[in-house]
A and B are shown apart, each in its own frame.
Chain A
Amino acid sequence: MACLLEAPLRISVLSEVTATSRHYVDRLFDPDPQKVLQGVIDMKNAVIGNNKQKANLIVLGAVPRLLYLLQQGSSSSELRAECAVVLGSLAMGTENNIKSLVDCHIIPALLQGLLCPDLIFIEACLRCLRTVFISPVTPVQLLYTDPTVIPHLMSLLSRSQRTQEYITQIFSHCCKTPEHQTVLFNHGAIQNIAPLLISPSYKVRMQALKCFSVLAYENTQVSMTLVNVLVDEELLSQVFVRMMQRDQPIDMQLTAAKCLTYMCRAGAIRTDDSCIVLKTLPCLVRMCSKERLLEERVEGAETLAYLMEPDVELQRIASVTDHLVAMLADYFKYPSSVSAITDIKRLDHDLKHAHELRQAAFKLYASLGSNDEDIRKKITETENMMDRIVSGLSESSVKVRLAAVRCLHSLSRSVQQLRTSFHDHAVWKPLMKLLQNAPDEVLVMASSTLCNLLLEFSPSKEPILESGVIELLCSLTQSDSPALRVNGIWALMNMAFQADQKVKGEIVRALGTEQLFRLLSDPDSNVLMKTLGLLRNLLSTRPHIDQVMSSHGKQIMQAVTLILEGEHSIEVKEQTLCILANIADGNTAKELIMTNDDILQKIKYYMAHSNVKLQLAATFCISNLIWNEEDGSQERQDKLRELGFVDILHKLTQASDPNLCDRSDTATHTSDLSPAFLQILSSIDRQTGTNTCTLIVL
Chain B
Amino acid sequence: MDAMAELGAGSLLLGDPAFNYQEAELNERLKRLYPAVNEDETPLPRSWSPKDKYSYIGLSQNNLRVHYKGHGKNHKDAASVRATHPIPAACGIYYFEVKIVSKGLDFLSSLLPLSPIPGWDKHSYGYHGDDGHSFCSSGTGQPYGPTFTTGDVIGCCVNLINNTCFYTKNGISLGVAFTDLPPNLYPTVGLQTPGEIVDANFGQQPFVFDIEDYMSEWRAKIHGMIARFPIGERLGEWQAVLQNMVSTYLVHHGYCATATAFARATETLIQEDQTSIKNRQRIQKLVLAGRVGEAIEATQQLYPGLLEHNPNLLFMLKCRQFVEMVNGTDSEVRCFSVRSPKSQDSYPGSPSLSPRHGATNPNLHSAGADSPTCSNGVTPPNKNKSHNKYPGVSSASSSSSSSPSSVNYSESNSTDSTKSQPHSGTSNQEETSDSEMEIEAEHYTNGVAENPSARIMNGTYKHQEILQAQDISLEDSCASRQLCGGNQAATERMIQFGRELQGLNEQLCREYGKNVTHKKMLQDAFSLLAYSDPWNCPVGQQLDPMQRENICSALNSAILESQNLPKQPPLMLALGQATECVQLMARVRSGSCSFARVDNFLH
**What is the interface of chain A, defined by CB distance below 8 A to chain B?**
245-247, 277-279, 281-282, 317, 320-324, 327
B440 lies within 8 A of chain A by Cβ = no
State whether A323 and B213 are in contact (beta carbons under 8 Å apart), knowing that A247-B219, A278-B171 are contacts in the complex.
Answer: no
Q: Are B175 and A321 in contact (CB under 8 A)?
A: yes
Offer 29 A-B interface pairs, CB within 8 angstroms, sorted by A. A245-B213, A246-B213, A246-B216, A246-B217, A246-B220, A247-B216, A247-B217, A247-B219, A277-B171, A277-B172, A278-B171, A278-B172, A279-B210, A281-B172, A282-B172, A317-B172, A320-B145, A320-B146, A320-B174, A321-B172, A321-B173, A321-B175, A322-B173, A322-B174, A322-B175, A323-B174, A323-B176, A324-B175, A327-B175
Given contacts A247-B220, A323-B176, 15 further A-B contacts (CB under 8 A): A245-B213, A246-B217, A246-B220, A277-B172, A278-B172, A278-B210, A279-B210, A282-B173, A317-B172, A320-B145, A321-B173, A321-B175, A322-B166, A322-B175, A327-B175
A320: B residues at CB distance < 8 A? 145-146, 169, 172, 174
| Residue of B whose beta carbon sits closest to that of A326 | B175
B214 lies within 8 A of chain A by Cβ = yes
**What is the interface of chain B, defined by CB distance below 8 A to chain A?**
145-146, 166, 169, 171-176, 210, 213-214, 216-217, 219-220
A277: B residues at CB distance < 8 A? 171-172
A247: B residues at CB distance < 8 A? 216-217, 219-220
- How far is A565 from B358 in the complex, measured between Cα atoms in Å? 104
B210: A residues at CB distance < 8 A? 278-279
- How far is A279 from B173 in the complex, measured between Cα atoms in Å? 11
B146: A residues at CB distance < 8 A? 320
| Residue of B whose beta carbon sits closest to that of A316 | B146
- How far is A317 from B171 in the complex, measured between Cα atoms in Å? 10
| Residue of B whose beta carbon sits closest to that of A278 | B171
A282: B residues at CB distance < 8 A? 172-173
| Residue of B whose beta carbon sits closest to that of A320 | B146
| Residue of B whose beta carbon sits closest to that of A244 | B213
B225 to chain A, nearest CB (A): 14
B173: A residues at CB distance < 8 A? 282, 321-322
A578 to chain B, nearest CB (A): 42
Looking at chain B's contact residues, is the secondary structure mostly helix, strand, loop, or mixed?
Answer: mixed
A426 to chain B, nearest CB (A): 28
- How far is A247 from B174 in the complex, measured between Cα atoms in Å? 20
B166: A residues at CB distance < 8 A? 322
| Residue of A whose beta carbon sits closest to that of B221 | A247
| Residue of A whose beta carbon sits closest to that of B223 | A247
Contact of A321 among B174, B213, B217, B220 (CB under 8 A): B174
A322: B residues at CB distance < 8 A? 166, 173-175
B171: A residues at CB distance < 8 A? 277-278
- How far is A89 from B217 in the complex, measured between Cα atoms in Å? 38
- How far is A61 from B173 in the complex, measured between Cα atoms in Å? 60
A248 to chain B, nearest CB (A): 9
A279: B residues at CB distance < 8 A? 210
- How far is A278 from B217 in the complex, measured between Cα atoms in Å? 16
A425 to chain B, nearest CB (A): 22
B167 to chain A, nearest CB (A): 10
B219: A residues at CB distance < 8 A? 247
- How far is A321 from B169 in the complex, measured between Cα atoms in Å? 9
| Residue of A whose beta carbon sits closest to that of B210 | A278
- How far is A278 from B145 in the complex, measured between Cα atoms in Å? 17
B266 to chain A, nearest CB (A): 32
- How far is A277 from B169 in the complex, measured between Cα atoms in Å? 12
- How far is A282 from B166 in the complex, measured between Cα atoms in Å? 14
B294 to chain A, nearest CB (A): 50
| Residue of B whose beta carbon sits closest to that of A381 | B143
A245: B residues at CB distance < 8 A? 213, 216
- How far is A428 from B175 in the complex, measured between Cα atoms in Å? 35
B217: A residues at CB distance < 8 A? 246-247
B145: A residues at CB distance < 8 A? 320
- How far is A321 from B176 in the complex, measured between Cα atoms in Å? 10
A321: B residues at CB distance < 8 A? 172-175
A281: B residues at CB distance < 8 A? 172
Most-contacted residue by chain B among A246, A277, A281, A317 (CB, 10 A): A246
A377 to chain B, nearest CB (A): 12
A324: B residues at CB distance < 8 A? 175
A470 to chain B, nearest CB (A): 43
B214: A residues at CB distance < 8 A? 246
- How far is A323 from B217 in the complex, measured between Cα atoms in Å? 19
- How far is A208 from B131 in the complex, measured between Cα atoms in Å? 46
| Residue of B whose beta carbon sits closest to that of A319 | B146
- How far is A279 from B171 in the complex, measured between Cα atoms in Å? 10
- How far is A323 from B177 in the complex, measured between Cα atoms in Å? 10
A87 to chain B, nearest CB (A): 38
B213: A residues at CB distance < 8 A? 245-246
B134 to chain A, nearest CB (A): 11
B156 to chain A, nearest CB (A): 15
B288 to chain A, nearest CB (A): 39
B216: A residues at CB distance < 8 A? 245-247
Q: Which 3 A-B pairs have the closest CB atoms?
A: A246-B217, A323-B175, A247-B220
- How far is A617 from B214 in the complex, measured between Cα atoms in Å? 60
- How far is A247 from B224 in the complex, measured between Cα atoms in Å? 11
B169: A residues at CB distance < 8 A? 320
- How far is A323 from B210 in the complex, measured between Cα atoms in Å? 18
B132 to chain A, nearest CB (A): 9
- How far is A380 from B174 in the complex, measured between Cα atoms in Å? 20
- How far is A246 from B219 in the complex, measured between Cα atoms in Å? 10
- How far is A278 from B166 in the complex, measured between Cα atoms in Å? 16
- How far is A323 from B164 in the complex, measured between Cα atoms in Å? 15
B179 to chain A, nearest CB (A): 13
B562 to chain A, nearest CB (A): 49
- How far is A628 from B210 in the complex, measured between Cα atoms in Å? 71
Most-contacted residue by chain B among A245, A247, A281, A321 (CB, 10 A): A247
- How far is A321 from B209 in the complex, measured between Cα atoms in Å? 12
A317: B residues at CB distance < 8 A? 172
- How far is A324 from B174 in the complex, measured between Cα atoms in Å? 9
- How far is A69 from B188 in the complex, measured between Cα atoms in Å? 78
A376 to chain B, nearest CB (A): 15
A358 to chain B, nearest CB (A): 22
- How far is A324 from B176 in the complex, measured between Cα atoms in Å? 11
| Residue of B whose beta carbon sits closest to that of A324 | B175
| Residue of B whose beta carbon sits closest to that of A279 | B210
- How far is A246 from B175 in the complex, measured between Cα atoms in Å? 16
| Residue of A whose beta carbon sits closest to that of B177 | A323
- How far is A281 from B172 in the complex, measured between Cα atoms in Å? 9
| Residue of A whose beta carbon sits closest to that of B209 | A278
- How far is A454 from B532 in the complex, measured between Cα atoms in Å? 100
B278 to chain A, nearest CB (A): 44
A249 to chain B, nearest CB (A): 10
- How far is A320 from B144 in the complex, measured between Cα atoms in Å? 9
A323: B residues at CB distance < 8 A? 174-176
B484 to chain A, nearest CB (A): 54
- How far is A323 from B173 in the complex, measured between Cα atoms in Å? 9
B220: A residues at CB distance < 8 A? 246-247
- How far is A324 from B213 in the complex, measured between Cα atoms in Å? 20
Most-contacted residue by chain B among A279, A281, A323 (CB, 10 A): A323
- How far is A327 from B173 in the complex, measured between Cα atoms in Å? 14
B176: A residues at CB distance < 8 A? 323
A278: B residues at CB distance < 8 A? 171-172, 210
A144 to chain B, nearest CB (A): 40
- How far is A245 from B214 in the complex, measured between Cα atoms in Å? 8
A246: B residues at CB distance < 8 A? 213-214, 216-217, 220
B192 to chain A, nearest CB (A): 24
A254 to chain B, nearest CB (A): 14
